[in-house]
Amino acid sequence: MSKLKFMKPFTQQEPIPEQAKKKVMELLDSGRLHRYNTVGSELSDAALLEQDFAQYQGRKYCLACTSGGYGLHIALRAMGLQAGDEVLTNAYTLAPVPGAIHAAGGKPVLVEIDNNYHLDLTDLEAKAKGSNAKILLLSLMRGHIPNMDQLMALCNKLGLQVLEDCAHTMGGAWSGVKSGNFGQVAAFSLQTYKHMNTGEGGLVVTDDAEVAARLIMHSGSYMFYERHGAAPAPEVFEKIRLTSANMSGRMDNIRAVIGLAQLPGLDKNCERWNQRYNILHSSIALISGLDIPARDKRESFVGSSLQFRATGLDVEQIPDFIAACVAQGVELKWFGAAQPNAFTSRYDSWHYIEPMPHLPNTLKALEKTLDLRVPLTFNDEDCYLIGAVIEQVMAQFMGR
């Protein structure tokens, strides 16, 4: 049997909407790219994006900033993190999450995950009681939303503030409540591979007026805080404006215009991702030696990526399996690799975390975990072919 070959790139995104291109050209002609370069009472495009996303998300306040990671950093500060404070977070996440804690002066305390890629609540309680942490930075890694009812009940019992990292869950929900509406603060990413693509960019939401004011001051508003589209009243800023450091990380109007053009189509795009995800899930679930962890029916996730375990392979075979898939055009990432590769790294490669914990449950859950990106530039036929390639390669390794 001849080898199947998939020919499309896994990093190609869809074109930016035409209305955004037109508006970008108008902005370039005007030269008014800075979010505070406004006339009179007009709202900048960055302020309009804040207004529209706050309405979409159903939260009172929203800040547009340079990236999701930057949003996490200033959110921690706005929530009261002091230098040296410990912050609880998932051991399974991407490097910008502990990086944000480190940048804010905190010390990451890594919490085990379970076999479904969720925080282990038993370990969370133990780590909370064994540390001075007052904040949980909950990373909803690769779009896996845990049982938020149980998690929030535990955090309330422990007196933990929750900061949600929703980089992979924009448009997702738990029991009908949008991801990002559980914690005190939530941060979203607009980086190219996320659910809205502005190249780089972030959105931070909260219902806490003083936290929102601090976010805006930290982002580099100077004294232009009244020029935001979803901000608290001016009197809230009077309490904190002289004590909140400027850490310039403003979103510019070009990125805001690109985001504004995509927001109306976000929910439809989430449906499109899930259509592709479902095809890939159905195909991969039938392959002997591969396992996809079950997801709770209350979780409304966005299938922009798919994780599965190569349970039929030895760990030593996984690099060769990935290379064989790549040779046939299918790109997979491995979260169990001992050394960082591109965007992917395991917690024990973040050597600035001291002391480095040993987390056997996390290592076991990740050792055979493979990650498959699901771009919207793929169609249904592409997804069936990707599944067939993975099946063909797996058959070779299983000796079938």
Give the domain CATH number at 386: 3.90.1150.10
Query: What is the pLDDT, as a whole number, of residue 204?
Result: 98
Query: What is the pLDDT, as a whole number, of residue 30?
Result: 95
> Rounded CA gap, 390 and 369, in Å?
14
Verify that 240 and 355 share a domain, yes or no.
no
Verify that 292 and 253 share a domain, yes or no.
no
Verify that 328 and 245 share a domain, yes or no.
no
Q: Which residues contact 302 (CB under 8 A, 6 or more apart)?
A: 143, 168, 169, 170, 171, 172, 195, 270, 273, 274
Residue 288 included in any domain: yes
Q: Is 328 exposed, middle or buried (0-12, 13-18, 19+ CB in 10 A)?
A: middle
Verify that 257 and 322 share a domain, yes or no.
no
Verify that 236 and 382 share a domain, yes or no.
no
The dihedral sign for the CA sequence 374, 376, 380, 386: negative
Question: Cα 67 vs. chain centroid, distance in angstroms?
Answer: 11
Sheet holding 305-309, edge to edge: 305-309, 369-373, 333-334
Residue 2 included in any domain: no
Residue 5 included in any domain: no
Give the count of beta carbons closer than 10 Å to the beta carbon of residue 54. Answer: 22
Verify that 158 and 224 share a domain, yes or no.
yes
Residue 120 included in any domain: yes
Sheet holding 61-65, edge to edge: 61-65, 202-206, 185-189, 161-165, 135-139, 86-90, 107-111
Residue 76 included in any domain: yes
For the record, the structure tokens of 205 come out as 């939401």
Q: What is the DSSP string of 161-176?
A: EEEEE-TTTTT-EETT
Verify that 301 and 321 share a domain, yes or no.
yes
The residue from 241, 264, 287 where one domain ends is 264
Give the domain CATH number at 142: 3.40.640.10
> Terminal CA-to-CA distance of the chain, rounded, Å?
12
> Rounded CA gap, 283 and 275, in Å?
13
Number of domains in the chain: 2
Per-residue model confidence as pLDDT tens for the chain (400 residues): 799 999 999 999 999 999 999 999 999 999 999 999 999 889 999 999 999 999 999 999 999 999 999 999 999 999 999 999 999 999 999 999 999 999 999 999 999 999 999 999 999 999 999 999 999 999 999 999 999 999 999 999 999 999 999 999 999 999 999 999 999 999 999 999 999 999 999 999 999 999 999 999 999 999 999 999 999 999 999 999 999 999 999 999 999 999 999 999 999 999 999 999 999 999 999 999 999 999 999 999 999 999 999 999 999 999 999 999 999 999 999 999 989 988 899 999 999 999 999 999 999 999 999 999 999 999 999 999 999 999 999 999 988 6
The residue from 264, 297, 316 where one domain ends is 264
Query: What is the pLDDT, as a whole number, of residue 400?
Result: 61
Residue 66 included in any domain: yes
Verify that 275 and 308 share a domain, yes or no.
yes
The residue from 203, 230, 264 where one domain ends is 264
Residue with tokens 């504004």: 260
Query: Which residues partner with 206 through β-bridges?
Result: 61, 185
Query: What is the pLDDT, as a whole number, of residue 399?
Result: 80
Residue 68 included in any domain: yes
Rounded to the nearest 10°, the torsion over CA 294, 297, 301, 302 is: 80
Verify that 308 and 236 share a domain, yes or no.
no
Verify that 295 and 250 share a domain, yes or no.
no
Residue 246 included in any domain: yes
Q: Which domain holds residue 353?
A: 266-398
Verify that 286 and 149 share a domain, yes or no.
no
Verify that 188 and 48 share a domain, yes or no.
yes
For the record, the structure tokens of 355 come out as 């002391």
Query: Which residues partner with 371 through β-bridges?
Result: 307, 333
